[in-house]
Amino acid sequence: MILLHHIPFSRSFRILWLLEEMGLRADLRHYSITDGSLRAAEFKSISPVGRVPALEIDGITIFESQAIVEYLTETRPLHGLGRLPGDAERVPYLEWLGFAETQASILASLNMQHLFMGDPTPASPVVLKLEAARLAATLKALEHVLGQRDWLLESGFSAADAMMGFNLFAAPYYVRMDRFPNVRAYMARIEARPAYQEARALDGPQEFYKKDFYDVPGA
């Protein structure tokens, strides 16, 4: 049995999608950010800081999406979605995994301030503007790379794209994407993948975003 501890439209979608790319179907155990289920002792025994994803597979439990991606690709190399030690693309593969987490941390900060902080602790417009600029800078770097190739690695689609691709469907809530045509074309290529489509159908409706775009207050 494969069990994925999951919140729709969260980082756990990366793992749901990657499993579909590998032809592996996970049972989903759903949680919510707002109902306290992530703080329950039972879940914290699985994920110490109470975050998804956590994956139960092969008789073990793994938390943190990057660790899960590395485990899945290294234990199932036949799918060709990772780059193992000795591979010429090993270093850029690891770099893109890290880049995706850096970008996701900026999105997490924006989510926290726009969506989950309110009276009596409103978000700082200065911080929101800075974080949106930081997110735009990561998109600018992607725009340059994706002007040269279809996927993050020259050899083609990899698990690094699953790590990164999730971010890019949250980024448009905070950054106008019209200045990033290569990124938008990349997003369209992702959406065309059957495994992505299947994972999105399994994912469930997102409950975070109530608006199409979140401006910086007073900007």
List of domains in the chain: 3-79 (3.40.30.10), 90-203 (1.20.1050.10)
pLDDT at residue 218 in the model = 58
* E strands present in the chain: 3-6, 27-30, 54-57, 60-63
Distance CA 143, CA 161 (A): 14
Q: Is 0.85 surpassed by the pTM of this model?
A: yes
pLDDT at residue 121 in the model = 61
Side-chain-side CA neighbours of residue 159 (13 Å)? 32
Determine phi and psi for 40, rounding to 5 degrees. Answer: -65, 145
pLDDT at 170 over 80: yes
Contacts of 193 (CB under 8 A, 6+ apart): 21, 157
Determine phi and psi for 188, rounding to 5 degrees. Answer: -65, -40
Q: How many CB atoms lie within 10 A of CB 87?
A: 14
Strands laid side by side in the 3-6 sheet: 27-30, 3-6, 54-57, 60-63
Residues in the chain: 219
Per-residue model confidence as pLDDT tens digits over 61-101: 999 999 999 999 999 999 999 999 999 999 999 999 999 99
CA dihedral 78, 81, 20, 28 (to 10 degrees): 100
pLDDT band of 119, cuts 50, 70, 90: low
